[in-house]
Amino acid sequence: MSFPAITRLSPNRDCAVPNERRGIVFHHTVISFEETIALMTDPARKVSYHCVIAADGTRATLVPDEQVAWHAGISSFRGRTGCNAFMLGLSFAGDTYAAPLTDAQIGSALEWIGPRWSRYGWTIEGMTDHRQVAPGRKDDLNPAEWDRLRQILQDTFGKPV
Ligand SMILES: [Zn+2]
């Protein structure tokens, strides 16, 4: 199955940066898909993800992979600060505390991640969420939804240990 994909480039990005992509920081938006696109194409807001996925699985690319999106803020992953410089930001429209990710959102995310997983040589250890890279400051994703998503990523892409 292939989900609809649109492009709405955000002005909120750094264009000239090293091409280092160690993994993904997952987010949820709380607000709707359309509201997210409006926010992220507003240069006054200084925020962006690489991609946001609607409840029906529609994906919107906001920042190209080889550029830096402004999604993680003050953050740290595996001893390194400033996750935006080396992690892609993938977000789900909605609030994972109010409702679980939809099957379409997960299917669309897997579709987006698949080619990148091999291109960048990712492992499950490169997958994280905003709550874990900015503890106490951010709460996305719901830990139960993170555990479910991580298991799906492991089952789909991870090599047996
Ligand atoms: Zn977030």
pTM of the model: 0.95
- pLDDT confidence of 160, banded at 50, 70, 90? low
Structural domain harbouring 72: 5-157
Angle among Cα 22, 110, 82 to the nearest 5 degrees reads 25
pLDDT score recorded for residue 18: 67
Per the prediction, the chain carries an average pLDDT of: 95
Cα of 93 from ligand 1 centre, angstroms: 11
Encoded tokens for 74: 């003050």
Cα of 26 from ligand 1 centre, angstroms: 7
Any alpha helices (H) in 3-157, and if so which ranges?
33-40, 103-120, 130-133, 143-157
Cα of 139 from ligand 1 centre, angstroms: 7
* CATH number for position 42: 3.40.80.10
Cα of 111 from ligand 1 centre, angstroms: 21
Cis status of the peptide bond prior to 88, with omega within 30 of 0: no
Q: How far apart are CA 39 and CA 120, in angstroms?
A: 29
Exposed/middle/buried for 123, CB within 10 Å: 0-12, 13-18, 19+?
A: middle
3-state secondary structure at position 57: coil
Cα of 160 from ligand 1 centre, angstroms: 30
How many domains is the chain partitioned into structurally?
A: 1
